[in-house]
Amino acid sequence: MNKNLLPLLLIAFLGSLSIHAQPITQACSSPQWLGADFCDFTCVNCMIDGFTGTNAVGPPTNQIYCGQITVHNPVWLAFVAGSEEINLEVIPFNCNNFQGLQLAVFEQCNDMPIGCHPGSSMGALPLQFVYDQYIPGKTYYLMIDGYAQDICEFTIHVLSGSVFPPPPGNATMPNGPSSLCIGMTGHYSIPPVPGAGFYHWIAPPGAKINGLSNEEYINAPEGEEVDIQFSNIGGQVCVIAGSVCTTETAPSCKNVQVVPVAITNLAPVTVNFNDLPYVWPQDGITTLTNPGVFILTDFNVSYIGCDSIVRQTITVNPPGNGFVTGTLFIDANNNGIRDAGEIPFSNPSVIKSSSGELSNSGLDGVYAFNNLSPGDTIFPMITLPGFHVNPAFHVVQQGVWNGYDFAITNLANAYDLAVSLSTTSIRPGFSSLLTLVCQNNGLQAVNNAMVSLTLPDPLGYQAATVNPFSAIGNVYTWNLGTMSPGEITIIKVQVYTPEWVQLGTIKEFTAVIKPDQQDANPVNNVYTLSQVIVGSFDPNDKQVNPAYVTPGMINNGQPFEYNIRFQNTGNYQADFVRVIDTLGNMVDPASFRFIASSHHCTWTMRGHGVVEFLFENINLPDSSSNEVESHGFVTFSVKPKSGLPLGTVIENYCDIYFDFNPPVRTNTAGTQVVYFVPGEGLGESGAFRARPNPAVFYTRFEWKSP
């Protein structure tokens, strides 16, 4: 057996292995070759008609084919089909055990056979195998094995059909790209060539055919298509149709030009420092954060269908006079220095200067001013209780524009949960959408947080984005689990208002959030929302609470809470929404506090009190497509300035922009300064008196301010 194998191993394949499982099988070096003990080691016998051999070659494998043949001691031969139908006959003789032979024919060595002849226990009888789906020019593999482990000599006869195909014709010129860039991959193909058993592909030096070398032999029909990756050298892509038992035909070639990578120089761009960070739009990844001149390059799929180099010079101007910036960060070890690993203070806050200019920090803790002078002071307005700012302020230094950082600590490790509530308009006979916004404002995780919502009679609960943990009467409770620092949970609740509820009726909704630990700021644990039952309504509106304040309430720091509601009533989704609100000179913009929003938004404050809320990528559906999800809102509070005279009405409106459409202006919401709040009475006995009493012509009324 080893003597038969050694000559075969010395015969080189016509080409290297392709990406396909079966390599090209070469013609045998001698017609007297006796066969191989494994399929992968066999060769094509171009004179198989009349071949005489023996199965005393292969080792036992116990492989089962066709459910009938158990392989014991096989010999493997190969032949080339010359016709679609072939009738092979194998005649055994000189059998050791007089049992005879069995056979199987394969299209690929590693596949199951296309057919078998199981032999029989009737003795060493001739075996015939007829198959009518051969592909002329293709190589097939014949396994002959002893029945019941018999060993026989045998002779093969071709009773009908052909095992010697005519030479294949020439292949046509490959179909595929004629011009590519360096490194580009092109797909090339040809129609089938009758009689071809394989295809010999040749590409220019440095190219890779199917990821391998620049010259590959690939069996038919797989070799009718190849992928060629080119280096920096062009030339001809050629293909030759071949058959193992015939000589190769003439090559058919296509000229392919490899074009050098083009450089596209884009117009230079200048960026102001206060517009940083700047994200290069060419790749959407490269981010510039410092002044300087930067030459950026990227690949662009725009040059004859493949990559070209795009080059652009970006100049970032240094900060101008008046520009200063800094960062708010959580000082975990309370040393006043931002150490490695200490994270930004991600709760956006208003930053105020002594000159009256306002800015705000973002989620990254960074803030900036554009118009400050040396000697101005900067101090953050941290509205959350339990937080300490170090230092309390910075003084702007001549020539120093960065590094004005503030360390934020929570010395008491306090817990602070907050809840807010908003709703679409409450209308008889319609459903409304309540939005509960629950937030952990502290620096500690809160376990087992619970939030409850009390609905006013006769409004009824319909559904929620999260099923309530419990429902007792008109009180619905949700278990929020563990809330991480800064985490926000939004629950939307749909309620129904019966059609018989009178217009003008005031309904109160109450939300309560409870941590399992002591809350440092219990004031924001309860939120009461008063809503007037309305009929027809404008979906873009602004509301304020309270509607009336007394001078005493102002002196005690009573904030005005504004709720801006908007709805996309167009005919397509809004990709982004901007809400711009100028707070006015009767309120203190430094007291601004963001409370909640229906969708993720960022806010900025500039100048002396211009606030912009940006809902980027909100993708707000239009009301005709999805009425329930077409609504949005933002809620914030701000405190009035002290000393406002009685009768003053603090008015405010805002503009809402849907994408690039003209703004929608809301109604004007107002709060009036009054001596006492209507509907609250005049206080305890003795706070009000009339004299003289009784009276004839006039009476003097006196009361104390509540």
pLDDT digit string (tens) for 50-91? Answer: 999 998 766 777 788 888 888 888 999 999 998 999 999 999
d(CA 678, CA 48): 113
Cβ count near 168 (within 10 Å)? 24
pLDDT digit string (tens) for 451-461? Answer: 999 999 999 99
pLDDT digit string (tens) for 27-53? Answer: 887 766 778 888 888 899 888 899 999
The architecture in CATH of the region 541-673 reads: Sandwich (2.60)
pLDDT of residue 551: 92
The tally of CA atoms less than 13 A away on the side-chain side of residue 451 is 31
Residue pair 252/239 in contact by the 8 Å Cβ criterion: yes
Q: What is the DSSP letter of 268?
A: P
pLDDT of residue 696: 57
CATH node for 2-160 = 2.60.120.380
d(CA 474, CA 497): 14
Q: Is the pLDDT of residue 181 over 60?
A: yes
d(CA 273, CA 323): 9
- Count how many residues are written for the chain: 706
pLDDT of residue 94: 93
pLDDT digit string (tens) for 659-678? Answer: 888 899 999 999 999 988 87
What is the CATH T-level fold of the domain 324-409, as seen in this structure? Immunoglobulin-like (2.60.40)
Cis check for the bond before 645: say yes or no (omega within 30 of 0): no
Residue that the structure tokens 């009518």 belong to: 132
CATH node for 417-532 = 2.60.40.1510
pLDDT of residue 317: 80
Residue 365 structure tokens: 């803790």
Residue pair 489/548 in contact by the 8 Å Cβ criterion: no
Q: Is the pLDDT of residue 278 over 60?
A: yes
Q: Is the pLDDT higher at 208 or at 424? A: 208
**Domain locations in the chain as residue ranges:** 2-160, 179-259, 263-316, 324-409, 417-532, 541-673
Do the domains 2-160 and 179-259 sit in the same CATH topology, yes or no? no
Pick the CATH number of 179-259 from 3.40.50, 1.25.10, 2.60.120, 2.60.40: 2.60.40
Residue pair 391/464 in contact by the 8 Å Cβ criterion: no
**CA dihedral (337, 338, 342, 344) positive or negative:** positive
Residue type, 52: T
CA-CA distances (angstroms) from residue 635 to 432, 465, 581, 631? 18, 21, 12, 14
| Closest-CA residue to 115 (of 167, 46, 65, 177) | 65
pTM over 0.75: no
Please spell the DSSP secondary structure of 107-120, one letter per residue.
SSTTS--SEEE---
